[in-house]
Copies of this chain bind each other. A is one copy, B any other.
């Protein structure tokens, strides 16, 4: 049996242990409460924690750049979307400068790049997505397909272990324009091979549009092998609730792609305010309206922390944390079925378990200070964040869950589901 001391030993050897202090804890003044009754937050892949540097960074933009600089600060702000994009490109995405833009929401970016991809594949009338993908991905794909009279073809992937290259091969043919896929599945955490899938799609003439929402900041991503991607900054990048998302377009494709929302921030000579829309050459052509300056300042802080820690170390700790979780579930919680890949190199930094009373268990855990995420219909999802979750936190969370299960403490909870996460 794996002991709490074993977990402590892993923490002692953790090269990222010092990064915990970069984040706000739950104790007085934002210190970390390490007591036995502390909150154990395992939902950093829904909303990442607040970096300690963020309040001052946001306050500086609000009070100095906006409050004192006023319109003069646009000289600085106008490059913010690509400056922070370049931080993400170099630090966490394996992309080149000028390939990543921070803008809009993940859903809006997905729409823009999906439309751009469809436009680049005239005559093809099929979009591919995964039936188990995150709702917004499926809904956006359905909407775009409807607009163009296209068909949506679903990849039949295993909901726990994710899709295989054979699953992808089975849906590809010369009718497919764009494949939309999450690199890390939002429920199971199952990861697919970005380079191999992109190559398969390219061979059949299709583009892959990757949703990196659960991958960015948790696994090593090498976008040099990809054509199109979008992703979220408020999960493992710790950019804040509803923070602006990012989009990636391979440099060589940028000039040939057009996105449909022709806003003035994509215009070549923006302040000439000319009669016709002529998109700029670079990744800014995928920008639309005036960029969200305050919120992007928070994104920059989070992005720089992940870049500093380095994705190899972050990904390695993510695998180790979830390995510990899987081991402890095996050893102590036979009532739960693992609903994620067992091999750590086939998943992101979260794992799900299945139980008929998953909802009630989630509520009982929350009341005992453990914050996982419930995912419909019967999954509890644990997302230990490599930058601030300790191995002993995982051990204690499983211990509290074992207590709940052993005492049937979850049964009094209502099965009514209204929680929003």
Could you tell me which A residues sit within 8 Å of B by CB distance? 24, 26, 30, 41, 43, 46-47, 49-50, 54-55, 58-59, 62-63, 65-68, 70-75, 77-78, 104-108, 111, 131, 134-136, 138-140, 142-144, 147, 232, 234, 240-245, 260-265, 267, 270-277, 288-296, 298, 371, 373, 375-376, 417, 419-421
**When the two chains form their complex, are residues B420 and A263 in contact, meaning their CB atoms are under 8 A apart?**
no
Say whether B68 contacts A107, CB under 8 Å.
Answer: no
Contact in complex: B139, A264 (CB < 8 Å): yes
Q: Is the CB of B277 within 8 A of A240?
A: no
Q: When the two chains form their complex, are residues B267 and A139 in contact, meaning their CB atoms are under 8 A apart?
A: yes
Rounded to whole Å, the gap between the CB of A185 and the closest CB of chain B is 13
Q: List 16 A-B contacts (CB under 8 A).
A: A24-B63, A30-B67, A46-B71, A47-B74, A58-B58, A74-B241, A104-B108, A105-B290, A108-B288, A111-B263, A135-B273, A136-B262, A139-B263, A241-B293, A242-B290, A271-B417
User: Do A143 and B261 touch across chains, with their CB atoms under 8 A apart?
Assistant: yes
Q: What's the Cα separation between A138 and B267 when bound, in Å? A: 12
Q: How far is the CB of A49 from chain B (nearest CB, A)?
A: 7
In the complex, the count of this chain's copies comes to 2
In the complex the two chains form, what is the Cα distance from A142 to B266 in whole Å? 14
Find chain B residues with CB under 8 A from A106 CB. Answer: 289-290
Do the beta carbons of A66 and B241 come within 8 Å of each other?
A: yes
- Beyond A30-B67, A65-B241, A241-B294, 10 additional contacts (C-beta under 8 Å) are A26-B68, A62-B240, A70-B371, A135-B273, A139-B263, A140-B263, A143-B262, A270-B420, A271-B421, A294-B295
B139–A243 CB distance below 8 A: no
- Choose from B50, B271, B274, B371 the contact partner of A67 (Cβ within 8 Å): B50
Residues of B within 8 A of A245 (CB): 289
- The residue that A59 contacts in the complex, of B59, B293, B373, B417, with Cβ under 8 A, is B59
Q: Which residues of B contact A275 (CB under 8 A)?
A: 131, 138
Closest 9 CB pairs of A and B: A105-B289, A107-B263, A107-B289, A143-B262, A50-B67, A139-B277, A241-B293, A136-B264, A139-B262
Say whether A293 contacts B131, CB under 8 Å.
Answer: no
A240 touches B66 (CB 8 A): yes
A80 to B: closest C-beta gap in Å:
9
Residues of B within 8 A of A71 (CB): 43, 46-47, 371, 373, 421
A108 pairs with B107, CB closer than 8 A: no
Closest to A258 in B: B143
Point out the residues of chain B lying under 8 angstroms from A131, CB to CB. Answer: 275
Closest partner residue, chain B, to A119 (CB atom): B147
**Do A420 and B75 touch (CB < 8 A)?**
yes
When distances are taken between beta carbons in the complex, the residues of chain B under 8 Å from A111 are 260-261, 263, 288
Q: In the complex, A138→B274 CA distance in Å?
A: 10
Given A43-B70, A106-B290, A108-B289, are A298 and B262 neighbors across the interface (CB < 8 Å)? Answer: no
